[in-house]
Amino acid sequence: MTEITAHHGLFKNTNLHVDDTGGPGRAVVLIHGWPMSGEAFKAQVPALQEAGYRVITYDRRGFGRSDKPLTGYKYDTLAEDLHALLEELDLNDATLVGFSMGGGEVARYFSLFGAERLHSVVFASAIPPYMKQTEDNPEGPLTEAAAADMAAGLSKDEDQFYDGFTRQFFSVDGELKVSDQQRQDAIALCKQADKKAALACMAAFAGTDFRADLPKVSVPALVLHGGGDAIVPFEGSGQRTHATLVGSELHVIAGAPHGCNVSHPEEWNDALIQFLAK
């Protein structure tokens, strides 16, 4: 456990909570989804460590155990936070695994910093290329009305919102694919998030266009997605990312929800470890 300080933006000393297994293996950086924290990867860290990798998770600013500044929740700043972590830990030949919202940091990283420190990347249940449904992005899976409803629900009642959100996060066609204890664990992580940060990041993942970032991905890539994802539907996200990244690999977990790293950890971990070995 350590802290990385991001020296940029209005709040120039934002401390990010980092968990690093250490060791000589190649680094795998797991970037969590909204609105949870690095603890959401507790089913992945031991498996990756056993496979010989140095595993690093961190809490995005505003979430988990990291500082919660008033601003800094657009993707340029979030990608700068990721870069600060790679620099501070002096990581090279690393693999970035961006889950859901975390896929946005992975995509934007290439536009800002290139591929110098990277070996490969994974877009896991990830939001690119562009979530918002617009005239020039009709395949976007998130309508403006749905985004507004999400923001209104979180603003009105956090407890009620997170209860409903986690049900959808782990369900396929209304059927919960995890235990209720696992869902309650996820709710506990959600409640660590600062409300203003959660709302700002909601706007960021809903409204940021990564279509110009994806073609800059110049390292091997895996798209890993749940086939029954109701939060970030595969057809509007992972399928399009795979098509954009020529030569990328694709693994769809049949019948799996958005939170497929929790509901189907063995298949998720196996797909990732097989990709990492290449």
- Name the catalytic one among 229, 248, 251, 263: 229
- Name the catalytic one among 17, 119, 251, 258: 258
- Name the catalytic one among 100, 125, 171, 237: 100
* Strand 27-31 to 118-124 pairing: unpaired
Concerning whether 179 is annotated as a catalytic residue, the answer is no
Concerning whether 258 is annotated as a catalytic residue, the answer is yes
Concerning whether 155 is annotated as a catalytic residue, the answer is no
Task: Write out the catalytic residue numbers.
Answer: 100, 229, 258
